[in-house]
């Protein structure tokens, strides 16, 4: 599995409340695409991330730490003159976790060029995972489109899925309309799309979970997944609709849950599991991460998730599309 996109050093508070009152912080590797690679590696996947850092101590920390998580740093390069991004958050459980990105004047991970891509590896990876953030600026935008087209054009027998994380962050875009235009092109090459209701609105103009999933399927994806926060998660294919309610947990930090979900999702895809089993597994992974302070270091193993599911079963329903239509 190869992911491509954002990386940072997360400097997260060890207490809840406003940052001005926090007295201690932890340092960990962060960034959505990088976290998903780390989460997938926790399930035994052979993973790598394509990203860029500054030529600075934080960049060296990332390059050194990724292999400790089981993630290859072979495609991590440095960009002179730019600093490795830093991200801070505030923790107001159960559902308010403001993020503060320090990526000015430009994040190195937005300097990925098409010429620097390991296209052979991208074409052959069983899963290739990208996020919408990588489409927000050049030269990263062009590089992402080149990588996605390469997946489609090569049609390598080893390639299983191309996943587009609809990870829309307004701070990275000039307007939602600009994001919508880029997402429309990227969806032409994706087999799986994952996003929350707000991200689906940017991607396909729909917030209702079923209509959003249908709109994503109409764009050509094989699996559309809509995360609904406190209402659970929905996944749809052309033949099946699966829904799971959320787990009841004591939320510590909701940040990173989506990345834990993503890593667990890719595990199910790689294993060839049925959609309901994959969604239950990913749903539980997201819940576990939400009970922990950090993101990358919070990613659970497969055994942890299976134990959690046995102890905390979440109601789920599965319907064929014919049954849904009859209802």
Cβ atoms < 10 Å from Cβ of 156:
15
Q: Between the CA of residue 68 and those of 23, 65, 103, what are the distances in Å? A: 28, 5, 25
Q: What is the mean pLDDT of each run of 10 residues along the chain (327 residues)?
A: 97 92 95 97 98 98 98 98 96 89 96 98 97 98 98 88 96 96 98 97 97 98 93 95 93 90 98 96 95 90 97 81 60
Work out how many domains the chain is built from and give that number.
Answer: 1
Q: With the C-alpha atoms ordered 66, 253, 107, 124, is the resulting torsion angle positive or negative? A: positive
Length of the chain (residues): 327
At 211 the pLDDT is 98
- Gyration radius (Cα) of the chain, Å: 19
HEC readout, 38-50: HHHHCCCCCEEEE
- Within 8 A by CB and 6+ apart from 57, the residues are none
At 327 the pLDDT is 53
Nearest to 203 by CA among 135, 147, 252, 259: 135
Distance between CA atoms of residues 137 and 154, nearest Å: 25
Q: Between the CA of residue 54 and those of 7, 85, 190, 230, what are the distances in Å? A: 11, 8, 30, 37
SS percent in the chain: helix, strand, coil, step 5: 45, 25, 35
**Single pTM value for the model:** 0.94
Instruction: Tell me which residue range forms the domain holding 40.
Output: 2-326
Cis status of the peptide bond prior to 100, with omega within 30 of 0: no
Return the residue matching tokens 């489409």: 135
- We report the CATH number of the domain holding residue 56 as 3.40.1190.20
């Amino acid at each position: 599995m190869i992911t491509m996109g954002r990386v940072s050093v997360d400097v997260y508070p060890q207490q809840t409340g406003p940052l001005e009152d926090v007295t201690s912080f932890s340092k960990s590797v962060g960034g959505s695409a990088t976290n998903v690679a780390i989460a997938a590696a926790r399930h035994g996947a052979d993973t790598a991330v394509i990203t860029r850092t500054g030529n600075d101590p934080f960049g060296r920390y990332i390059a050194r730490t990724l292999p400790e998580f089981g993630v290859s740093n072979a495609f991590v390069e440095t960009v002179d003159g730019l600093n490795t991004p830093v991200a801070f958050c505030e923790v107001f459980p159960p559902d308010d976790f403001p993020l503060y990105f320090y990526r000015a004047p430009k994040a190195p991970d937005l300097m990925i060029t098409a010429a620097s891509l390991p296209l052979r590896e991208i074409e052959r990876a069983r899963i290739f995972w990208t996020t919408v953030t990588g489409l927000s600026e050049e030269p990263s935008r062009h590089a992402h489109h080149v990588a996605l087209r390469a997946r489609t054009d090569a049609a390598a027998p080893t390639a299983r899925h191309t996943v587009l994380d609809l990870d829309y962050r307004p701070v990275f875009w000039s307007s939602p309309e600009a994001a919508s235009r880029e997402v429309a092109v990227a969806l032409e090459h994706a087999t799986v799309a994952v996003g929350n209701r707000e991200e689906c609105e940017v991607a396909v103009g729909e917030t209702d979970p079923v209509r959003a999933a249908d709109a994503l399927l109409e764009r050509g994806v094989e699996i559309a997944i809509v995360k609904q926060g406190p209402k659970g998660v929905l996944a749809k294919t052309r033949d099946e609709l699966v829904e799971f309610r959320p787990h009841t947990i004591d939320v510590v930090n909701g940040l990173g849950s989506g990345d834990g979900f993503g890593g667990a999702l890719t595990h199910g895809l790689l294993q060839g599991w049925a959609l309901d089993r994959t969604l239950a597994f990913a749903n539980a992974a997201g819940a576990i991460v939400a009970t922990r302070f950090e993101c990358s270091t919070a990613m659970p193993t497969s055994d942890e998730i299976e134990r959690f599911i046995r102890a905390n079963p979440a109601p789920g329903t599965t319907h064929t599309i014919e049954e849904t239509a009859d209802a």
